[in-house]
Amino acid sequence: MELSPSQKTSIRYQFEVFCKKVIRGERCDYLRQVLRRAEQEVSFSDMPFDTLLRIGMSDDYPSSHYVFETQGHQISIADERLGEALSQIESAGRNLLLLAYFLDLNDREIGALLGIPRSTIQRRRQRFLDQMKQLLKE
């Protein structure tokens, strides 16, 4: 059975109304989702600086570091001035400073590790530290 032109027009209008309802519903769902997301998101410009530092990243290439080895530990130093100053100090003094300031060993532990009395370690550490200060001042 063939539909009359008025029935075809009526069906077309019903379909258009249905499509408009579906599109309106999808629009409402989308706007609700955007509002929910906006409540949870924070703009980078609104974040505190310390939070940005924690979530930030920087490119770090091993070739730009000074690497020193002491007592089986590899110590990587990124600061160019400090690395250059350490490389100018004799190896015994450099090892002593690396053990004390980068591996956080005290004079007694360093003395036991190197087989040298604690008082000798203290004097040498101070002397090499003074050398480092002079090199860094230049």
**Of 97, 118, 116, which is closest to residue 107 (Cα–Cα)?**
118
Judge whether 48 and 103 are in contact, CB under 8 Å. Answer: no
The pair of three-digit structure tokens given for residue 23, joined into one six-digit string: 């599109």
What separation, in Å, do the N-terminal and C-terminal C-alpha atoms of the chain show?
102
Domain ranges for the chain: 5-46, 66-137
Hey, which bits of the chain come out as E strands?
66-70, 73-77
For the domain covering 66-137, report its CATH number. Answer: 1.10.10.10
Segment 53-106, tens digit of pLDDT: 888 777 767 667 888 888 888 888 888 888 888 888 898 888 899 998 888 889
pLDDT 10s digits, 31-61: 999 999 988 888 888 888 888 888 877 776 7
Q: What percent of the chain has pLDDT over 70?
A: 97
pTM of the model: 0.55
CA–CA separation, 72 vs 98, rounded Å?
12
> What pLDDT digit, counting tens, does each position of 116-135 carry?
899 998 999 899 999 988 88
Residue 110 above 80 pLDDT? yes
Beta strands in 20-116 (DSSP E): 66-70, 73-77
- In terms of Cβ atoms closer than 10 Å to its own Cβ (0-12, 13-18, 19+), residue 50 is exposed
| Residue 29 confidence class, pLDDT cut points 50, 70, 90 | very high
Residue 89 CA from chain centroid, whole number = 31
Predicted local confidence at residue 17, as pLDDT: 96
**pLDDT interval class at 114 (50, 70, 90):** confident
